[in-house]
Amino acid sequence: MTVNHALIALLGLGVGIACAPAYADSSDSARVADIQYGNGLDPSGFAALSDQADPVGMSWLHAGSLRSPSGIPYGFPTLPPPEHEQGAWRYSGLLSAGVINLSGDDDAQLFRQYSDWSNGLVLGSLWFDAYRPDSGHYADLRASHLSENDQFYRFRAGRYGRYKIEGFYRDMPHVVSTTAYPIWNGVGTDSLTLPEGLTPGASDPAAIAAAVSGAPRSTVRVDRTRTGLSVEGNVAKRWIGYAAVSNEERDGTRLWGGSMFFNFPFANNGGIVETVRPIDFTTTDLSVGARFVGDLWQFNAVYSGSFFRNHKDSLDFESPFILSPVTGTPAAGVVGYGQFSLEPDNDAHNLRLELSRRLPWNGQMSLTGAVGTMRQDETLLAPVTCEGSIGVSGTPFVADCANWNSSASLSQTKADARIDTLLLDAKFSFRPSAKFGWRAELRHYGEDNKTDYLAYNPLTGEYGYISENGSQGSVVPGEMGIFDPNNPLYQSYFAHIRSTPYATDKTNFDLGGDWRVNWQNTLSLSFGFERREPEYRERSRVDESRATLAWVSRSIANGSLRVSYEFADRGGDSYDYFPYDAFYSTSIDGFVEKEGANPFTVSAMRKYDLSDRRQHKFRGIFIHPVGQAGTVSTILYGQYNDYSARIGRQGDRNIGLTMQWDYQPAPHFSMGVYAGAEVGEMNMANVSDNEGVVSSDADLGGDKYPLENVWKETSQTQDLNFGLNLVRDFGRTRVDAAYSFVYARGEIAYDYASLGAITFNQQAYPGEFSPYPDTHYRVHSVDLGITRNFSQRFAARLFGRYEVGDFDDWHYLGFEDARLYDHRIYTDEGPSRHYEASLVGVMLQFKL
């Protein structure tokens, strides 16, 4: 679904605010900060509530609107705020504050997803600008406070042409769910414990049902806080130095899957729980650099570093379910505890050098080199946390937890993970005449993965790891996840015993040119070639050729037309469906090949990023001025991918159309209407293995993967959006209104050669296997605002929003009635199926 929920939520106050011209941000690329500021009250981060259009228009010489070279109209300028003088300084400022009232289903997740709306008093915005015309010194402050989790503050000061200092603070909420019902104590910490009355691994089914039905409703959310400081200035003639640091804190919770082995297709034997994991991250970014700007040469050198810290290393949780083996009885140990290793601390460093020079024939050369390294060396957790024995009693497949629940069972105690990168890039461009220009680029990027971890237990001499804290082997005898060359029970076990050091080298060459046929038409043609050489993947060489043809014209109906078509063809060397032998137990001396062992996967499988592919892309943009005040814009685009795969992704396509009409006959009036639609489709195919046959045949159509077990899936999406907005200024009073409608639909259809393709589903759901219901998402929003300027310094604004939304997703069907299904606990009911919410507010604005 391509719906931008964030945009819908951030419009908040009404499109009337967004319709006001946003003041330009002079931020440049040298700083480490947020490019965009804003919140639900002020999406642009720079608009004033009472902006009045300048009645002069664009200028004294041109009363009407002006357009860009492509035909897009510029917005009318607004009246500047009143200025005051204090010595050599000139300053202006404003403060807005008011009250907001919410009603209806205002706690719906889709309504408040990225805006922390709340009732009561609120600081709308705070501005202060000051500058000295004689020296070029300046200072400005921008702030907006919707709530403690949705606010921003930014301060800048400096001297034009000499130096600049900037600092910022920003909060960003993200409400994940408002209908969560976790049963655990300790939500938000790294240890989830069961409530009173439930015992890990040994709870009564009736007690579990009571705990699930009696769990209180709670909200799952993540709050992000970013702070930053940057300095830039002239350190010598033609030399500029800069440094910046930013820090982001993320705190809250997320829904998390805490599996304790599957619960299908047999009943009362596994245990699947949807838990809530903690979010407690810190990311610090640092940038230090210097630039040289000469007449012929330009140089830039920059070091950047990123440092991630997770203040919680792991998540421990308790599961109430009793694990019942398929055959036999559980071993002496009780598997009622689970553990996840959370994201590890890691560092990234990069040093980049850029050199450019002017060349003859109006040319430019740019050379870039960069080296980087990413490292992670966290202390590793023990493979299991269980005590006693795990496995199935009465069988030889029993393991002693004492041999696996300490760091002594690890081959190394630290991760020692490292990836080094290298980038080399050379660009050349020439324009020997006004009618012709050409460009070329050669680029190489490489990743060298130096991570090498062997899963070996020195206490037992076994390879691999105990899967799912021992629960898998306690349900299905023998499925411990370990390989032992000295034990006949495990010497033929197919186990993942070493980390796979995925890496790649990528080389690109691009050549293109453009020709101005006449003053109204320009043609451009470009060719590109890319060679990827991935390591330990199904292909060791992937080649892709690309050609793009584009036409720009200003000769059609006084409008501007941009059309481009691109064709790409990807291929490579022979495809190996299982290149991972070196990282599995089959590579260890002592592995005994089991007669008729099942293959890793079907040999016809093709992974979409490595398979052959033919790609077609089209884009057309037409901007048509209608008279002096109107503009019609049309964008048509499409993409089609054809993968040569019998099993895997076979193809995908999408096409979209967007049309917009803008009308602004005078500074006091503007309106617009837009509509867009996009449809997409993706086709996939797979084959179910014949579980009743033990065979090493990996070919499609063989005993293990017969053709009658092939199934296909087609997923289709339809997205529609429509909106209109109007702003009318009556002098001291301005009225703005807006309406938006967003609709998204998803459909999944499938076909199968025979019932053998869905044998697993037949066991779980006997009878007819019906298709999945369609998913739907639709939101109607109406915004209305009235602004009254009582004087040059005082204004008031009354605003409101009414929003209606509907949401249907088969993944959440039935959760509003029950969240416990056999040995499966679900925590989240999902977004509200239907909600109606409104917001009304009054804001007062005072200008200095």
Statement: residue 44 has pLDDT above 70: no
pLDDT of residue 636: 98
pLDDT of the residue at 760: 54
> Which residues, at least 6 apart from 703, have a Cβ–Cβ distance to it below 8 Å?
690, 693, 695, 697
Share of the chain above pLDDT 90, in %: 66
Q: Is the pLDDT of residue 277 over 50?
A: yes
Report the predicted TM-score, pTM, of the whole model to 2 decimal places: 0.89
Task: Specify the range with the lowest mean pLDDT, choosing from 45-59, 143-157, 299-313, 356-370.
Answer: 45-59
Residue predicted with more confidence, 422 or 83: 422
Helix (H, G, I), strand (E, B) or coil at 479: coil
Between 255-269, 340-354, 603-617, 773-787, the lowest mean confidence (pLDDT) is in 255-269
Q: Which domain holds residue 642?
A: 5-416+451-500+580-847
Q: Does residue 566 contact residue 537 with C-beta atoms inside 8 Å?
A: no
What local confidence, expressed as pLDDT, does residue 529 receive? 98
pLDDT band at 97 (very low <50, low <70, confident <90, very high): very high
CB atoms within 10 A of CB 293: 11
Looking up tokens 């429509």 gives 722
Quick check: 380 pLDDT over 50? yes
Q: Which two tokens stand for residue 161?
A: 């042409």
Backbone angles phi, psi at 63, to 5 degrees: -75, -30
> What's the CA gap between 168 and 227, in Å, rounded?
6
Q: What is the mean pLDDT of residues 624-633?
A: 90
Q: What percent of the chain has pLDDT over 70?
A: 92
pLDDT of residue 793: 87
Distance between CA atoms of 470 and 455, rounded to whole angstroms?
Answer: 16
What is the predicted pLDDT for the residue at 40? 74
Q: Is the pLDDT of residue 56 over 80?
A: no
Domains identified in the chain, total number? 1
Where on the phi/psi map is residue 104: left (φ > 0), alpha (ψ -120 to 50), or beta? Answer: left
Mean pLDDT value of segment 674-699:
92
- Section 53-80 average pLDDT: 75
Q: Contact at 8 Å (CB) between 260 and 232?
A: no
CB atoms within 10 A of CB 236: 9
Residue 538 belongs to a domain: no
Average pLDDT over residues 422-443: 96
Cα 285 to Cα 157, 230, 347, 368, 609, distances in angstroms: 22, 11, 10, 22, 31
Residue 571 inside a domain? The answer is: no
Beta-sheet strands, E only, within 311-404 = 314-318, 329-330, 337-341, 346-359, 363-376, 389-393, 398-400
In sequence order, what are the residues at sequence separation of 6 or more whose Cβ sits closer than 8 angstroms to the Cβ of residue 845? 48, 49, 50, 94, 95, 96, 124, 794, 795, 796, 797
pLDDT at 405 over 60: yes
| DSSP per-residue letters across 87-112 | TTEEEEEEEEEEEEEEEESTT-HHHH
**Distance between CA atoms of 267 and 276, rounded to whole angstroms?**
25
Q: Are 224 and 6 in contact (CB under 8 A)?
A: no
What DSSP string describes 444-494? EEEEEE----B-EETTTTEEE--GGGGHHHHHSTT-S-EE-TT-TTTTT--
**Omega cis (within 30) before 265:** yes
Give, rounded to a whole angstrom, the gap between the first and last alpha carbons of the chain: 46
**What's the pLDDT score for residue 573?**
96
More confident residue, 769 or 610: 610
Integer Cα distance of 155 and 122 in angstroms = 21
Q: Does 339 fall in a domain?
A: yes
What pLDDT is stored for residue 146 in this prediction? Answer: 76
Mean of the pLDDT values across residues 162-182?
Answer: 93
Contacts of 206 (CB under 8 A, 6+ apart): none
Band of residue 13 on the pLDDT scale cut at 50, 70, 90: very low
Give me the chain's average pLDDT, please: 88
Q: Does the pLDDT at position 5 exceed 70?
A: no
Instruction: Report the 10 Å Cβ neighbour count for 515.
Output: 14
Residue for token pair 């495809």: 575
pLDDT class for 482, splitting at 50, 70, 90? very high
pLDDT over threshold 50, residue 32? no
Give domain status of residue 550, yes or no: no
Pairing of strands 824-825, 272-293: parallel
Please check the confidence at residue 49 and state whether its pLDDT lies above 80: no
448-480 burial code (b ≥16 CB/10 A, e <16): ebebebebbbeebebbbbbbbbbbbbbbbbebb
Euclidean distance between CA atoms 95 and 224, whole angstroms:
26
Residues in CB range of 518: below 8 A, 6 or more apart = none
Hey, what are 376's tokens?
């992670």
Structure tokens at 633: 């814009």
d(CA 75, CA 299): 37
- Which residue in the block uniquely carries the two structure tokens 């959370």? 342
pLDDT of residue 50: 54
What tens digit of pLDDT does each residue of 789-837 get?
898 889 999 999 999 999 999 989 888 889 998 889 999 999 999 999 9
Does residue 765 lie in a domain region? Answer: yes
Question: Which of 448, 641, 444, 421 lies closest to 534, judged by CA?
Answer: 448
Note the Cα 246 to chain centre separation in Å. Answer: 20
Q: Is the pLDDT of residue 35 over 60?
A: no
Is the separation of the CB atoms in 125 and 42 below 8 Å? yes
DSSP, collapsed to helix, strand or coil, labels residue 406 as coil
Residue 60 lies in a domain: yes
pLDDT at 691: 79
What are 134's two structure tokens? 């004689």
pLDDT in tens, 545-595: 999 999 999 988 788 999 999 999 999 999 999 999 999 999 999 999 887
In a domain? residue 796: yes
From residue 124, alpha-carbon distances to 139, 146, 172 in Å are 21, 7, 16
- What residue has token string 């390879």? 463
DSSP symbol at 454? B
The number of CA neighbours under 13 Å toward the Cβ of 300 is: 15
pLDDT for the residue numbered 479? 86
CA atoms within 13 A on the CB side of 511: 2
Residue at 427 is within a domain: no
φ, ψ for residue 277 (rounded to 5)? Answer: -100, 155
pLDDT exceeds cutoff 70 at 469: yes
CA 627 – CA 629 distance, rounded (Å): 6
